[in-house]
Amino acid sequence: MRMQLSRSARDNLTAYTFLAPWLLGFLVLTLYPMIYSLYLSFTEFNILQPPQWIGADNYIAMFGGNDEVRADPRFMNSLWVTFRFVFISVPVKLMFALAVAMLMNQKLRLIPVYRTLYYIPTLLGGSVSIAVLWRRLFAGDGVINQILDLSFGIQGPAWISNPKYALSTLIILAVWQFGSPMIIFLAGLKQIPDEYYESARVDGAGPVRQFLSITLPGLSPIIFFNLVMQMITAFQSFTQAYVISGGQGGPLDSTMFYSLYLYLKGFGFAEMGYASAMAWFLLIMIAVLTAILFRFSGSLVTYGSGE
């Protein structure tokens, strides 16, 4: 009994030693800013003057307001825009990334070149040049419409400045920059031992069987990681929408992402308290969705450690 106790104590000591840098960093560098922003979410704070405690008014304004607090319809709109963006772009991007990763996992001589070229769109990130490029592609007289006109005689709309289509150009951009999940998938594919495939081939399994019975289960922790992280990042999408709409989320707020509106509120309109409330609502929302994903992952994700 005594032996066991001291052993688990020693295990704890070892683990916390490994964990020490992260714990220290969390307590010193991360915790205070988080708590402080939670406090700010209950205040009116114009950045330059001390925050004023206003209770839950910021949260009330976000969800319809009441007699004293003015409702904020732009908030609800930004939430809706972001939901549509997340639920379309994440699955499409992940499927595309996985397909390309498998394409890039073949033993072709030029593979290093191909991989690098496919990664370039991601390298461009959210730079000004992306904004110029995207307008050039999706404007009324842009490249896409020229192609549509030449090949099908269709007169396309001004995709990027039409409220009906503007969001889809940003979804296309997100999918186009599929490099990060692709690389992670590629790393995951490399980690599946070759002999698994060899023995499957010996058993006469075709490519589809191999994919379903080896690749998918072997890759499941990585698929799960990409799903969770892409969801978190997509909810916080900011830069691309910011540069393309010139920080305005237009036309008609159709690309006013949650984070973009948060930023506009916090720094533009000098309502950092309200922005903090938005940030904490986003945190709670993402946390709930992540928890649901973790719950579901239990039966679908196979870990090497058998957990």
Partner 1 sequence: MKRSVLMALALVVGVGMAFASGSQEAADSQGDGTTTIRWAYWGSGTRVEISQAAIDLYEERNADIQVNPEVSGGAGDHFIKVDTQIAGGAGPDIIQMGGNINDYVSRGVLLPLDQFAGNELNVDVIDDSAIQSGTIDGTLYGVSTGVTMPALVYNKSLLEREGIALPEVSMTYAEFRDYLVMLRDNLPDDVYPMMDIGAMSSNSTPFGYWSRYNGTPLYDAERNMTPVTAEAATRYLELFQDYRENGLVPPADIAAGYAETNADTSAIVAGRVAIGYLFTNQLSGYQAAMTDELALIEFPGAAETNALWVAPSQFYTVNLNSEHPEETVKFINFLVNDPDAALILGNNRGASASATARAAGASSPADQKVLDYLEAAAPHTSPDTPRVPNDTELNSTLYLIYQQVAFGQLTPEEGGQEIYDLLTRLIEES
Partner 2 sequence: MTRRTRTRLSRAIANVIIIVLGIGMLYPVAWLVSASFKESNTIFTSPGLWPTAFTLDNYPEGWRGIGIVSFGTFFKNSFMISGLSVLANVIFCSLTAYAFARLRFVGRRVWFTIMLLTLMLPNHVTTIPRYVIFRAFGWIDTILPFVVPRIFATDAFFVFLLVQFIRSLPTELDESAYIDGAGKFGIYTRIILPLTVPALVTTMLFSFLWTWDDFFNQLLFLNSPDKYTVPMGLRLFLDSSGISSWGPMFAMSVLAIVPAFVLFFSLQKYFVQGIATTGIKG
Q: What residues numbered 168-197 form the site for partner 2, per CB under 8 A?
A: 176, 180, 183-184, 186-188, 190-195
DSSP state of 206: -
Q: Which tokens in the block code for residue 266? A: 């916090």
Number of shown-chain residues binding partner 2 (CB under 8 A): 97
Find which of partner 1, partner 2, none residue 190 binds, CB within 5 to 8 Å per kind: partner 2
Q: Establish whether the linkage from the previous residue to 51 is cis, with ω within 30° of 0.
A: no
- In this chain, which of 163, 190, 288, 292 binds partner 1, going by CB under 8 A? 163
293: buried, middle or exposed (CB in 10 Å: 19+, 13-18, 0-12)?
A: middle
Find which of partner 1, partner 2, none residue 161 binds, CB within 5 to 8 Å per kind: partner 1
129 binds partner 2 (CB under 8 A): yes
43 binds partner 2 (CB under 8 A): no
Find which of partner 2, partner 1, none residue 224 binds, CB within 5 to 8 Å per kind: partner 2
Cα gap 184→14, rounded to integer Å? 29
Q: Which tokens in the block code for residue 61? A: 């304004």
- In this chain, which of 96, 119, 126, 135 binds partner 1, going by CB under 8 A? 135
- In this chain, which of 4, 150, 299, 307 binds partner 2, going by CB under 8 A? 307
Find which of partner 2, partner 1, none residue 163 binds, CB within 5 to 8 Å per kind: partner 1
In the chain, the amino acid numbered 44 is E
Q: Which residues make Cβ contacts (< 8 Å) with residue 203, sequence separation at least 6?
A: none
Q: Which tokens in the block code for residue 16? A: 């916390």
251 binds partner 1 (CB under 8 A): yes
- In this chain, which of 133, 205, 216, 270 binds partner 2, going by CB under 8 A? 133
121 binds partner 2 (CB under 8 A): yes
292 binds partner 2 (CB under 8 A): no
Alpha helices by DSSP H, the chain: 2-25, 31-40, 57-62, 73-104, 111-124, 128-138, 143-152, 166-176, 179-190, 194-202, 207-210, 216-235, 239-244, 258-263, 272-300
Cα gap 221→181, rounded to integer Å? 13
Which of 218, 232, 242 minimizes the C-alpha distance to 286? Answer: 232
- Letters for 49-78 (x = contact with partner 1 by CB under 8 A, - = none) are x--------------------x---x----
- In this chain, which of 184, 264, 277, 278 binds partner 1, going by CB under 8 A? 264
Q: Which residues bind partner 1 (CB under 8 A)?
A: 13-14, 17-18, 20-21, 46-49, 70, 74, 128, 131-132, 135, 139-141, 157-158, 160-163, 245-248, 250-253, 264, 267-270
